[in-house]
Amino acid sequence: MAFDSLIRNGTLIDGTGSPARRADIAISDGKIVEVGTISAPAKRTINAEGLVVAPGFIDPHTHYDAQICWDGATTPSSWHGVTAVVMGNCGVGIAPCRPNAREVAMRDLVNVEAIPFEVLNAGITWDWETFPQYLDAAEKRKPALNLAFLAPLTPLRHYVMGEASMERAATEDETMKIQALLGEALDAGAFGFSSTLLNQHMGYGGRPLACRNASRDELQAYCRALRERGKGAIEFAMTRQIAVMEDPEVELLAFMLEESRRPITFIAMFDRDDLPEALRTSLAKLKHLIPRGARPQTSPLPLTRELVMRSPFAFAAFPSWKRLFEDTSKPAQAKVYADPAFRAAFREDLKRPASFGDWARITAHELKNPALKRYEGKTVAEIAAEQGKDGVDALLDLTLADDLENEFTVQSWNTRVDRMAELLNDPSVLLGLGDGGAHLDMLCDAGYPSYVLGTWVRERKVLTLEEAVRRMTSDPADFFGIRDRGRIAPGMAADLVLFDPQTAACAERPERLYDLPGGGKRMVKRSTGIEMTLVNGVPTWEKGALTGAAAGRVLRS
């Protein structure tokens, strides 16, 4: 009997870190059935001469929770060799959700993940209420990629507590009900739960995201739900000062590791050149927790993002900016930007240690008002010097003069090659933070797998190809307990990527598309050198385009 597909003549990198070798791969019924020298017939033979054949990449940190309702291809991740995405990160999501709480859930995503409300309101199908129903609804849509879900704590707490979830810790009775909902999600296939401590994670009405109010007793109960089942992982956004692990955070991490006996990945570990020793100091503090399952998570990309003044997430950690998220209408935001008291409070925030205050890192990228075009390409520091103002007034005056339609580019962290080499070669660090589906008008980091192949492997030789593939395949699969993916071996799912090691890369600059529901804008980056992606044995991406195949499935723990 002929195989469904036979991939021949490729250089096999199997995802384990083992040396590359020449081998053929036979596929039937969505699974790898044979690896080696194969001469049997197949319905389709794929010539992989000159290409690397690797397991499909697994992105551990995405926010496609809403996007899967309108984009079955899960773009742009599907353009970069990704075959499985993990969503439900950072404690924010849209299930479970009662019908009367849908606006709360959407506003949480607006404030935390910078997804426009108009896009969410037009695009989310709401054909579920409970978390198991949400997974079933995702399965029925027949996605192009495999979808794995964490259960975010915010919707779980809000489902039980209502608006009180944004104000206080849960009572003992409420905690038991939330724990039961989490158990229901885990039993339905969730791969764990997620939460956040980050100050910039403001939810509905500019109040702290509900999961930020969870008490230690609550977290103990939720950790025990994983421990009792012997499965699942935890994702936690817990570095209040990005890349700086403070002692209370380290202690909380140790507590959750003990209570759950499950692995935890936490964000965000960046190399900050404004705090040059922060990363090393933080990793040293965590050294004793790494063997117990603590996994810092970083992005392999330089952290460069667009700052859109109608959605100023970059400044959300500053207390003075809370007002911008209470009423997000343009008139209300313009009133705040013009308020001298707001500006004075912002200046006070900037005096805090480790706060952002380098206006030379913010560049005027796009201005709508023709009279302001001369400022494009200039930093806020340059504009301030030219106008005889400080950075606060220069930034906000320019914003008001452009009717809040202006955009800036913010250059921040992960820019030093030597320190990034050190970070990427730390085997405890989980590669991720692609944030696919989030911060749509600010950045696009979902193409990090092709960036790793082009920049860190080929150009800078920081990682070997075998190790880079391992870190993006079997490593996240093992962390989350995705047992049938991440490696090339008989019996494994046929999730594969074929790429040209000489050309694989991610575009340097993002491209603007207006393809969201209602014509909303997003930033995307294209790939080069990713020649083919197979999901469950079916070609999903081929010769630079999606095939229209929908062979993905909901992965269940």
φ, ψ of residue 4 to 5 degrees: the values are -70, -45
Paired strand residues for 497: 54, 533
Q: How far apart are CA 203 and CA 210, in angstroms?
A: 7
Whether residue 260 is found in the same domain as residue 182: yes
Whether residue 205 is found in the same domain as residue 249: yes
- For position 179, which CATH number holds? 3.20.20.140
Whether residue 228 is found in the same domain as residue 113: yes
What are the residue ranges in the chain where pLDDT is below 70?
353-357, 412
- What local confidence, expressed as pLDDT, does residue 180 receive? 98
- What local confidence, expressed as pLDDT, does residue 351 receive? 81
Half-sphere exposure of 522 (CA within 13 A, CB side): 25
Q: How far apart are CA 421 and CA 285, in angstroms?
A: 20
pLDDT in tens, 22-53: 999 999 999 999 999 998 999 999 999 999 99
Answer yes or no: are the C-beta atoms of 146 and 495 closer than 8 Å.
yes
Whether residue 260 is found in the same domain as residue 294: yes
Q: How many domains does the chain have?
A: 2
- Range of 327's domain? 306-411
Distances (CA, A) of 157 to 150, 151, 372, 376: 15, 11, 46, 44
Three-point CA angle 412, 413, 419, nearest 5°: 150
Whether residue 93 is found in the same domain as residue 225: yes
Whether residue 284 is found in the same domain as residue 318: no
> For residue 170, is it within any domain?
yes
Q: How far apart are CA 288 and CA 254, in angstroms?
A: 9
Whether residue 186 is found in the same domain as residue 285: yes
Answer yes or no: are the C-beta atoms of 416 and 44 closer than 8 Å.
no
Paired strand residues for 54: 497
- What local confidence, expressed as pLDDT, does residue 546 receive? 98
Whether residue 294 is found in the same domain as residue 320: no
Whether residue 97 is found in the same domain as residue 145: yes
Peptide bond into 268 cis (omega under 30): yes
Whether residue 299 is found in the same domain as residue 403: no
